[in-house]
């Protein structure tokens, strides 16, 4: 059944033809791993894009092929012919956005852009949670953490570096920012905080194909960080998006901004000698590192997390080759069944490694894994705790 008459996705045929169908990406793809279906594999998705680009009708099954992708981009790292899967998928989704993004998803993203509204809702949610007003089914679908009723405000400490505070991160995980500020201050770096314009990086909009909205948000974010001090990011997903502004917006200014953006661990790893000492009397701690896909496959800077953690804990690896946890931004809420199956595999790998705690540098992954019963902390919170700063 044809959903729409459009048959061109506006993709670059050269990029599509770069996929030689070798299949080397298959095992890195979380949706292929749990489903075993070609239609849920990177190779199958590219073949599907090619078919539609060459004139096949856009059918329900094509939409399923596209919407079941987590956008973890592990296939991109695995692909020997360097297919730019992420941009193919984003462009495809952008062409389909009008017909595929459900109204409530667009509305939810609008909320993310408005920090005060989000904070208000978060506060209400916290109260509602305590009063058990949120139906358990909805709560687990959204993988809501235990929300804080009141948030301590953050205070800037100087102007050596900017800290990107974001939307979900700021409202739900403000303690992470506090930990980053504490560690940076202990190392002698003053931290500047942006104004309200830097509320939302636009990553979820980009993933859903809402490109023009993402470009607008990028403009707002960039103007909230004047000067040329480095912009540090403690959320892997936001960091990846900020680093992509150069491509997304396509201006020199945006490219210059993107070059100023660093993942906080990457920035700290280059200054590891300045890291604060472990506090006296801290017992042994085993940490398993879960690599957020946006750190490992997009920013390609997952190794610094280990370097930053290693003075503070013994770091163990999960034996699953860094496959995605299934959170995928909004994916876990949009495709709960598939996401849970993917998470189950991750939880088994965590069980096998038997750590005291899992370190994850992305709020989405943390919330999602915690929702599955794992004990998860942001690496920077662990560092601050072990150094006795929080």
Strand 357-360 to strand 376-377: parallel, antiparallel, or no bridges (unpaired)? Answer: parallel
Quick one: which of 377, 372, 313, 374 has its CA closest to 173?
377
Q: Based on C-alpha coordinates, what's the Rg of the chain?
A: 21
Of 63-71, 113-121, 163-171, 269-277: span binding ligand SF4 (CB under 6 A): 63-71
Please say whether the beta carbons of 265 and 294 come within 8 A: no
83 binds ligand SF4 (CB under 6 A): yes
Of 81-89, 102-110, 228-236, 293-301: span binding another protein (CB under 8 A): 81-89
23 binds another protein (CB under 8 A): yes
81 binds ligand SF4 (CB under 6 A): yes
Please say whether the beta carbons of 126 and 148 come within 8 A: yes
Among 11, 34, 52, 72, binds ligand SF4 (CB under 6 A): 72
**For residue 58, what are the β-bridge partners?**
4
- Minimum distance, C-beta of residue 135 to another protein, in the bound complex (Å): 28
24 binds another protein (CB under 8 A): yes
Quick one: which of 6, 98, 2, 11 has its CA closest to 46?
11
82 binds another protein (CB under 8 A): yes
102 binds ligand SF4 (CB under 6 A): no
Neighbour-count burial of 60, counting CB atoms closer than 10 A to its CB (0-12 exposed, 13-18 middle, 19+ buried): exposed
49 binds another protein (CB under 8 A): no
Among 3, 6, 7, 27, binds another protein (CB under 8 A): 27
Three-state DSSP state, 48 = helix
- Minimum distance, C-beta of residue 69 to another protein, in the bound complex (Å): 14
- The DSSP element (H or E) to which 163 belongs, if any, is strand 161-164
Cβ-based nearer residue to ligand SF4, 125 or 237: 237
49 binds ligand SF4 (CB under 6 A): no
Taking the mean position of all CA atoms in its chain, how far away is CA 170? 14
- The DSSP element (H or E) to which 231 belongs, if any, is strand 231-233
Three-state DSSP state, 315 = strand
Among 34, 58, 73, 151, binds ligand SF4 (CB under 6 A): 73
Among 10, 12, 36, 159, binds another protein (CB under 8 A): 36
DSSP 179-203: HHHHHHHHTT--EE---GGGS---H
Quick one: which of 199, 264, 188, 256 has its CA closest to 228?
256
Of 19-27, 176-184, 279-287, 348-356: span binding ligand SF4 (CB under 6 A): 19-27
- Minimum distance, C-beta of residue 360 to ligand SF4, in the bound complex (Å): 17
Among 34, 42, 183, 224, binds ligand SF4 (CB under 6 A): 42
Give the interface with another protein as residue ranges (CB under 8 A).
14, 17-28, 32, 36-39, 43-44, 47-48, 51, 56, 59, 61-62, 65, 78-83, 319
Q: Which residues are at the interface with ligand SF4 (CB under 6 A)? A: 19-25, 28-31, 42-43, 45-46, 69-75, 78-79, 81, 83, 85
């Amino acid at each position: 059944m044809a959903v729409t008459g459009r048959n061109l996705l506006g993709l670059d045929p050269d990029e599509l033809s770069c996929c030689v169908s070798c299949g080397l990406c298959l095992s890195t793809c979380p949706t292929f791993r749990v489903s075993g279906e070609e239609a849920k594999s990177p190779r199958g998705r590219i073949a599907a894009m090619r078919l539609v680009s060459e004139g096949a009708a856009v059918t329900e099954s094509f939409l399923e092929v596209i919407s079941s992708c987590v956008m973890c981009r592990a296939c991109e790292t695995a692909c020997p012919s360097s297919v730019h899967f992420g941009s193919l998928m984003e462009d495809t989704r952008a062409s389909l956005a009008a017909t595929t993004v459900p109204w409530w998803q667009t509305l939810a993203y609008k909320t993310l852009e408005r920090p005060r509204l989000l904070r208000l809702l978060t506060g209400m949610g916290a109260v509602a949670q305590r009063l058990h007003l949120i139906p358990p089914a909805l709560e687990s679908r959204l993988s809501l953490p235990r929300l804080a009723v009141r948030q301590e405000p953050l205070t800037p400490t100087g102007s050596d570096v900017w800290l990107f505070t974001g939307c979900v991160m700021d409202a739900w995980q403000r303690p992470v920012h506090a930990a980053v500020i504490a560690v940076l201050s202990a190392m002698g770096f003053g931290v500047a905080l942006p104004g309200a314009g830097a509320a939302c990086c636009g990553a979820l909009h980009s993933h859903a194909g809402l490109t023009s909205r993402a470009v607008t948000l990028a403009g707002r974010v960039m103007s909230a960080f004047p000067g040329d001090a480095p912009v540090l990011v403690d959320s892997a997903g936001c960091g990846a998006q900020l680093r992509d502004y150069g491509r997304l917006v396509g201006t020199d200014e945006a490219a210059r901004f993107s070059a100023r953006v660093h993942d906080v661990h990457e920035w700290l790893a280059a200054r590891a000698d300045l890291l604060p000492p472990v506090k006296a009397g801290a017992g042994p701690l085993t940490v398993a590192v879960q690599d957020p896909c946006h750190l490992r496959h997009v920013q390609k800077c997952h190794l610094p997390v280990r370097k930053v953690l290693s003075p503070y804990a013994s770091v163990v690896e999960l034996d699953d080759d860094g496959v995605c946890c299934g959170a995928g931004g909004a994916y876990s809420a949009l495709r709960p069944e598939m996401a849970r199956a993917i998470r189950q595999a991750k939880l088994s790998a965590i069980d096998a490694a038997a750590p005291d705690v899992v370190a994850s540098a992305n709020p989405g992954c943390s919330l999602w894994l915690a929702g599955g019963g794992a004990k998860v902390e942001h690496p920077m919170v662990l560092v601050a705790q072990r150094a006795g700063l929080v």
